[in-house]
């Protein structure tokens, strides 16, 4: 992991990573302010506020991916805002592989995430990528 940020702010990311990897729901929730505001700009209807929904979401994630592992690839901070690049891996309870990559942006207050914008998405191998744009233009 490469960090180029203020250690006092990025320490929070390490606590989130550790709690996720240990599947410690209480430690994970403790990393977030009680009135935490979560946004998913690519999926606006997933937005929520507060510990209760955070706890519900991560309970489901830990159940669905019992061996989830979070790797913090890079991070950078400016003031109380920290950007983190993540890779989440594991195996779904169904036996299928689980791989998400992306970025989270956190507003940090008093050592906790007060708000976050999550850009985490499943990795899709074999996706036609940019070629699909070219084909869609011709239609």
For residue 49, which of 39, 61, 58 has the smallest C-alpha distance?
39
Write down the CATH number for the domain with range 2-137. Answer: 3.10.450.50
Residue 132: pLDDT band by 50, 70, 90 thresholds?
A: low
Q: In 30-86, which residue ranges form alpha helices assigned H by DSSP?
A: 51-64
Q: What percent of the chain has pLDDT over 90?
A: 78
Does residue 40 surpass a pLDDT of 90?
yes
Q: Give this prediction's pTM.
A: 0.86
Give the H/E segment covering residue 21: helix 7-21
Residue 2: pLDDT band by 50, 70, 90 thresholds?
A: very low
| Residues with Cβ within 8 Å of residue 54, at least 6 apart in sequence | 29, 32, 36, 38, 48
d(CA 103, CA 42): 12
Q: If phi over 0 gives left and psi between -120 and 50 gives alpha, with beta otherwise, what is residue 124?
A: beta
Residue 9, φ and ψ in degrees, nearest 5: -85, -40
Dihedral, 46, 50, 53, 54 alpha carbons, nearest 10: 90
CA angle at 21 for the pair 16 and 22, rounded to the nearest 5°: 100
**Residue-wise pLDDT tens digits, 47-95:** 999 999 999 999 999 999 999 999 999 999 998 999 999 999 999 999 9
**Three-class DSSP labels, 94-115:** CCCEEEEEEEEEEEEECCEEEE
Name the residue ranges covered by the structural domains of the chain: 2-137
pLDDT for res 1:
47
d(CA 67, CA 94): 12
């Amino acid at each position: 992991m490469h960090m180029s940020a203020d250690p006092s702010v990025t320490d929070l990311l390490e606590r989130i990573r550790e709690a996720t990897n240990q599947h410690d729901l209480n430690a994970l929730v403790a990393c977030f302010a009680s009135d935490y505001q979560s946004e998913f700009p690519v999926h606006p209807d997933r937005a929520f506020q507060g510990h209760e929904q955070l706890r519900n979401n991560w309970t489901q994630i830990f159940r669905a991916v019992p061996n989830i592992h979070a790797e913090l690839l890079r991070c950078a901070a400016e003031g109380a805002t920290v950007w983190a690049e993540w890779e989440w891996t594991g195996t779904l309870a169904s036996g299928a592989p689980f791989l998400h990559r992306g970025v989270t942006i956190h507003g940090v207050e008093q050592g906790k995430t007060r708000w976050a914008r999550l850009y985490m998405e499943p990795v899709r191998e074999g996706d036609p990528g940019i070629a699909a744009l070219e084909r869609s233009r011709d239609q």
